Amino acid sequence: MVDKIIFPKDVVVGKFYSVPHVLAYEFYGHTNIPIPINTPLHEDKDYINFNVLHFHIDWRFLNTKLYTDCCIDMHEPSYEIKSQVKDVLIIESAALGKLADTKVFYKNVKCKRSYNNNIFHIEFPIMYHCNWPTKLQIVFCGDHLRINENGQYVCPHKGAIVDLNHKDENGHAVCPAHLLRFNTQTLKAITL
Protein backbone atom coordinates (compact mmCIF):
# COMPACT_ATOMS: atom_id res chain seq x y z
CA MET A 1 0.00 0.00 0.00
CA VAL A 2 1.03 3.58 -0.57
CA ASP A 3 2.06 5.49 2.55
CA LYS A 4 1.96 9.05 1.29
CA ILE A 5 0.83 10.53 -1.99
CA ILE A 6 1.31 14.19 -2.84
CA PHE A 7 -1.71 15.56 -4.67
CA PRO A 8 -1.68 18.85 -6.59
CA LYS A 9 -2.96 21.90 -4.71
CA ASP A 10 -5.11 24.84 -5.85
CA VAL A 11 -5.67 23.33 -9.29
CA VAL A 12 -6.54 25.65 -12.19
CA VAL A 13 -7.68 24.43 -15.61
CA GLY A 14 -4.98 24.94 -18.24
CA LYS A 15 -2.03 24.78 -15.86
CA PHE A 16 0.45 21.93 -15.42
CA TYR A 17 0.87 19.94 -12.19
CA SER A 18 2.84 17.00 -10.89
CA VAL A 19 0.02 14.47 -10.60
CA PRO A 20 0.06 10.99 -9.04
CA HIS A 21 -0.66 8.20 -11.52
CA VAL A 22 -0.82 4.43 -11.51
CA LEU A 23 -0.45 2.07 -14.44
CA ALA A 24 -3.70 0.46 -15.61
CA TYR A 25 -3.17 -2.75 -17.54
CA GLU A 26 -6.61 -2.37 -19.14
CA PHE A 27 -8.83 0.71 -19.16
CA TYR A 28 -11.77 1.06 -21.57
CA GLY A 29 -9.96 -0.87 -24.29
CA HIS A 30 -6.59 0.81 -23.70
CA THR A 31 -3.69 -1.20 -22.30
CA ASN A 32 -0.75 -0.20 -20.08
CA ILE A 33 -1.96 3.36 -19.71
CA PRO A 34 -1.10 5.82 -16.88
CA ILE A 35 -4.22 6.94 -14.99
CA PRO A 36 -4.30 10.01 -12.70
CA ILE A 37 -5.64 9.32 -9.20
CA ASN A 38 -7.11 11.50 -6.44
CA THR A 39 -7.27 9.14 -3.45
CA PRO A 40 -4.93 6.84 -1.57
CA LEU A 41 -5.32 3.12 -2.22
CA HIS A 42 -8.22 1.81 -0.13
CA GLU A 43 -11.16 -0.53 0.24
CA ASP A 44 -14.68 0.54 1.18
CA LYS A 45 -15.83 -2.35 3.35
CA ASP A 46 -17.81 -0.19 5.76
CA TYR A 47 -21.01 1.49 4.54
CA ILE A 48 -20.34 0.80 0.86
CA ASN A 49 -19.57 -2.95 1.08
CA PHE A 50 -16.95 -2.67 -1.68
CA ASN A 51 -14.18 -5.01 -0.53
CA VAL A 52 -11.81 -4.42 -3.42
CA LEU A 53 -8.57 -2.42 -3.34
CA HIS A 54 -8.86 0.60 -5.61
CA PHE A 55 -7.91 4.18 -6.37
CA HIS A 56 -10.32 6.85 -7.59
CA ILE A 57 -9.64 8.44 -10.96
CA ASP A 58 -8.91 12.16 -11.15
CA TRP A 59 -10.96 13.07 -14.22
CA ARG A 60 -9.49 16.57 -14.30
CA PHE A 61 -6.14 15.24 -15.54
CA LEU A 62 -7.21 12.27 -17.67
CA ASN A 63 -6.04 12.78 -21.23
CA THR A 64 -8.74 13.95 -23.64
CA LYS A 65 -8.77 10.77 -25.75
CA LEU A 66 -9.33 8.55 -22.72
CA TYR A 67 -11.89 10.93 -21.25
CA THR A 68 -13.78 10.96 -24.55
CA ASP A 69 -13.59 7.16 -24.88
CA CYS A 70 -14.88 6.43 -21.40
CA CYS A 71 -17.12 9.41 -20.60
CA ILE A 72 -18.57 10.82 -23.79
CA ASP A 73 -20.98 8.93 -26.02
CA MET A 74 -19.87 10.02 -29.49
CA HIS A 75 -22.91 8.30 -31.04
CA GLU A 76 -25.27 10.76 -29.39
CA PRO A 77 -25.90 13.87 -31.50
CA SER A 78 -25.39 16.08 -28.44
CA TYR A 79 -22.29 14.16 -27.27
CA GLU A 80 -23.95 13.35 -23.96
CA ILE A 81 -21.93 12.07 -21.02
CA LYS A 82 -22.38 8.31 -20.81
CA SER A 83 -24.88 7.21 -18.20
CA GLN A 84 -22.51 4.76 -16.51
CA VAL A 85 -18.81 5.33 -15.98
CA LYS A 86 -16.65 3.54 -13.46
CA ASP A 87 -14.90 6.10 -11.29
CA VAL A 88 -12.56 3.65 -9.61
CA LEU A 89 -9.44 1.91 -10.79
CA ILE A 90 -9.65 -1.61 -9.37
CA ILE A 91 -6.32 -3.28 -8.68
CA GLU A 92 -7.37 -6.89 -9.07
CA SER A 93 -10.54 -8.77 -9.93
CA ALA A 94 -11.24 -12.46 -9.33
CA ALA A 95 -12.77 -12.68 -12.79
CA LEU A 96 -10.29 -10.53 -14.72
CA GLY A 97 -7.05 -10.85 -12.76
CA LYS A 98 -4.63 -7.97 -12.14
CA LEU A 99 -6.01 -4.77 -13.67
CA ALA A 100 -3.67 -2.08 -12.32
CA ASP A 101 -0.45 -1.58 -10.42
CA THR A 102 -0.28 -0.14 -6.90
CA LYS A 103 2.98 1.73 -7.47
CA VAL A 104 2.35 5.47 -7.66
CA PHE A 105 4.44 7.64 -9.97
CA TYR A 106 4.17 11.28 -10.93
CA LYS A 107 3.68 12.88 -14.32
CA ASN A 108 3.66 16.57 -15.17
CA VAL A 109 0.28 16.96 -16.87
CA LYS A 110 -2.16 19.72 -17.73
CA CYS A 111 -5.44 20.11 -15.89
CA LYS A 112 -7.89 19.70 -18.74
CA ARG A 113 -11.23 20.22 -16.98
CA SER A 114 -12.83 21.06 -13.67
CA TYR A 115 -14.80 18.56 -11.69
CA ASN A 116 -18.34 18.62 -13.00
CA ASN A 117 -20.66 19.98 -10.31
CA ASN A 118 -23.32 17.50 -11.43
CA ILE A 119 -20.90 14.62 -12.00
CA PHE A 120 -22.66 12.19 -9.70
CA HIS A 121 -26.12 12.91 -11.08
CA ILE A 122 -25.00 12.65 -14.70
CA GLU A 123 -22.05 10.25 -14.84
CA PHE A 124 -22.83 7.97 -11.90
CA PRO A 125 -26.63 7.95 -11.40
CA ILE A 126 -26.87 4.45 -9.93
CA MET A 127 -24.06 5.16 -7.48
CA TYR A 128 -25.57 8.51 -6.54
CA HIS A 129 -29.06 7.17 -5.90
CA CYS A 130 -28.14 4.04 -3.93
CA ASN A 131 -28.28 4.15 -0.13
CA TRP A 132 -24.58 4.23 0.82
CA PRO A 133 -24.13 7.98 0.28
CA THR A 134 -26.89 8.52 2.86
CA LYS A 135 -25.19 6.12 5.29
CA LEU A 136 -21.88 7.98 4.91
CA GLN A 137 -23.62 11.32 5.44
CA ILE A 138 -25.18 10.11 8.68
CA VAL A 139 -21.98 8.56 10.03
CA PHE A 140 -19.72 11.49 9.15
CA CYS A 141 -22.21 14.33 9.74
CA GLY A 142 -20.46 17.04 11.74
CA ASP A 143 -16.95 15.72 11.06
CA HIS A 144 -14.59 18.40 9.80
CA LEU A 145 -12.45 18.36 6.71
CA ARG A 146 -8.88 17.77 7.85
CA ILE A 147 -5.87 19.65 6.51
CA ASN A 148 -2.94 17.53 5.34
CA GLU A 149 0.76 18.45 5.43
CA ASN A 150 0.38 20.25 2.06
CA GLY A 151 -2.40 22.48 3.36
CA GLN A 152 -5.11 20.66 1.40
CA TYR A 153 -8.56 19.78 2.68
CA VAL A 154 -8.94 16.04 3.12
CA CYS A 155 -12.17 14.07 3.47
CA PRO A 156 -12.49 12.36 6.89
CA HIS A 157 -13.80 9.18 5.24
CA LYS A 158 -10.92 7.89 3.08
CA GLY A 159 -8.58 10.82 2.65
CA ALA A 160 -9.62 12.13 -0.75
CA ILE A 161 -8.60 15.72 -1.49
CA VAL A 162 -11.65 17.99 -1.39
CA ASP A 163 -11.58 21.11 -3.56
CA LEU A 164 -13.83 23.75 -1.98
CA ASN A 165 -14.55 25.06 -5.49
CA HIS A 166 -16.13 21.73 -6.47
CA LYS A 167 -19.67 22.44 -5.29
CA ASP A 168 -23.05 20.85 -5.76
CA GLU A 169 -26.17 22.72 -6.84
CA ASN A 170 -26.69 23.90 -3.22
CA GLY A 171 -23.19 25.37 -2.83
CA HIS A 172 -21.79 22.53 -0.69
CA ALA A 173 -18.27 21.26 -1.35
CA VAL A 174 -18.31 17.68 -2.66
CA CYS A 175 -15.80 14.91 -2.04
CA PRO A 176 -15.01 13.61 -5.53
CA ALA A 177 -14.49 10.06 -4.25
CA HIS A 178 -17.39 9.19 -1.95
CA LEU A 179 -19.96 11.96 -2.34
CA LEU A 180 -19.78 13.46 1.14
CA ARG A 181 -20.92 17.09 1.18
CA PHE A 182 -19.35 19.83 3.33
CA ASN A 183 -20.52 23.25 4.40
CA THR A 184 -17.89 25.58 2.92
CA GLN A 185 -18.08 27.98 5.90
CA THR A 186 -17.89 25.47 8.79
CA LEU A 187 -16.04 22.74 6.83
CA LYS A 188 -18.33 20.17 8.49
CA ALA A 189 -19.90 17.22 6.72
CA ILE A 190 -23.64 17.57 6.31
CA THR A 191 -26.64 15.41 5.50
CA LEU A 192 -28.88 16.22 2.55
Is residue 151 classed exposed, middle or buried when 0-12, 13-18 and 19+ CB atoms within 10 A define those classes?
exposed
| 129-182 confidence digits (pLDDT tens) | 566 777 888 889 999 999 988 889 999 998 888 988 888 888 999 888 888 899
- How confident is the model at residue 116, as a pLDDT? 63
| 50-101 confidence digits (pLDDT tens) | 788 999 889 889 988 888 777 766 566 655 555 555 667 888 877 778 889 9
* Beta-carbon contacts of residue 13 (< 8 Å; ≥ 6 apart): 60, 111, 112, 113, 114
Count Cα atoms within 13 angstroms, Cβ side, for 153: 25
- How confident is the model at residue 134, as a pLDDT? 78
pTM of the model: 0.83
Residue 127 has pLDDT above 60, yes or no: no
Alpha-carbon distance of 150 to 33, in angstroms, equals 28
- How confident is the model at residue 1, as a pLDDT? 41
Residue with the larger pLDDT of the pair 76 and 25: 25
